[in-house]
Structure 1
Amino acid sequence: MHLFKTKKDNKIYAPVTGMMIPLSEVPDNTFASGMMGNGFAFRFDSDMIFSPCFGEVLVIAKTRHAVGIKMENGAEILLHIGLDTVMLNGKGFILAVKKGQKIRPGTELLKIDRKI
């Protein structure tokens, strides 16, 4: 992701490089049914996950497979990486941020090791 803006905004940018797909195409009923809320998914091709917005890291799952962000306008975003990744128990996820950290679009949130 390349973003060189200095003016803050309420836009949501892609957190990864790859193809965006509707949640209905995710092969997991919890997400595909909308049970976790509205959103979208990606078939991504990199190992880096970036902040999609200006805000603050609200929560990081103990298993590091999900990051919650509170945008400056109060909206909350959940970035959930992968399917069944909670079972990895954090293995393969390398955090680059901590809870409470202020972030901007393009801030590196975490890196994944796809070989795990």
Structure 2
Amino acid sequence: MSEFSFAMLPGIEQEELLWLQELTKSYSAENKQRFLALYQSRRKDPQMILICCLIGLIGPAGIQRFVLNQIGMGILYLVTLGFCLVGTIVDAINHRKLAWEFNKKEALTSAALLGLA
């Protein structure tokens, strides 16, 4: 498996790429391939999070939180109209950080599910 396999993930940034390479450096080629398949299915693209935030500005607020499996925050955003749109705007600005935190957690979960961690 090529080291460039992670680089082909949509919207991946250098920090995430380096972190994934460090996480999987001791994995065999087969385990890296299994990890990549599982991680790719669970990973969220930062642009998708941004699009959901922008939809929340004109439609139902909190979609981005539901996408990130933060159901409680999603309901809170929905009821308060995205904290009067301020929370939605802050999420739109910080969409990369939200996606990175979610993806990091999912990478560790994926490794644990495969018994690699």
More helix as a share of residues = 2
Say whether the fold is shared (TM-score over 0.5). no
Give the structure with the higher percent strand. Answer: 1
